[in-house]
Amino acid sequence: AELVFQIDTIATDILKYAPPNQLLLTIIDDDGQEFLPKDYSFSSYYYGGSLNTSDYTYRFNIAQHMQEVIKGKFNNNGFYLSTANKTGEFKRVILKGGGEANGITLSIAYSKVLQ
């Protein structure tokens, strides 16, 4: 599963105000606490979140987390999206919403498992 956030390059003046180099997607548990998804502990590179300047997107691979939600091992209580470097990077970004063209997208690939 891949979650993609598209920068709104019209609302965000990317030449004047550079977007953050990386965003961090944290999951919310049943107690309201936030933590990194299982995909991050597998590999931060695999997990993603870095700015792709060719299409101005932030992409997160959350396949393992989605698998836990689908299997009922974890409730889907939403997530927080923040800059990865919360104290040392003063940058801003405006992201497109889910109702806009090329806004937030979640792509899920299904495969049949042979037993």
52 strand-pairing partners? 57
Q: Where exactly are the structural domains of the chain?
A: 2-107
Distance (Å) of CA 48 to CA 43, 83, 100, 105, 111: 9, 13, 23, 15, 22
What the block records as the tokens of 82 is: 């923040």
pTM of the model: 0.88
The answer to whether the CB of 39 falls within 8 A of the CB of 48 is: no
| pLDDT tens-digit readout, 27-68 | 999 999 999 999 998 888 889 999 999 999 999 999 999 999
